[in-house]
Amino acid sequence: MLLGEFRHSLDSKGRVFLPSRWREELGETVVITQGLDRCLFLMGKPRFEDWAQRFDELPVERKDARAYSRIFFAKASEEQVDGQGRITIPANLRELAGLGKELVLSGVSRRAEIWDRALYDTYQGNVVERYEEIAETLQL
Other CB atoms within 10 Å distance of the CB of residue 12:
6
Q: How many domains does the chain have?
A: 1
The pLDDT-based confidence of 140 (bands split at 50, 70, 90) is low
Query: What is the span of the domain harbouring residue 60?
Result: 5-137
Q: Write the pLDDT tens digit of every residue in 88-125.
A: 999 999 999 999 999 999 999 999 999 999 999 999 99
Q: Write the pLDDT tens digit of every residue in 20-69.
A: 999 999 999 999 999 999 999 999 999 999 999 998 898 889 999 899 99
CATH code (residue 56): 3.40.1550.20
Alpha helices in the chain (DSSP H): 20-26, 45-56, 63-74, 91-96, 117-128, 131-137
Q: Whole-structure pTM over 0.85, yes or no? A: yes
Q: Is 86 helix (H, G, I), strand (E, B) or coil?
A: strand
Q: Is 111 helix (H, G, I), strand (E, B) or coil?
A: strand
Rounded CA separation 82/66 (Å): 34
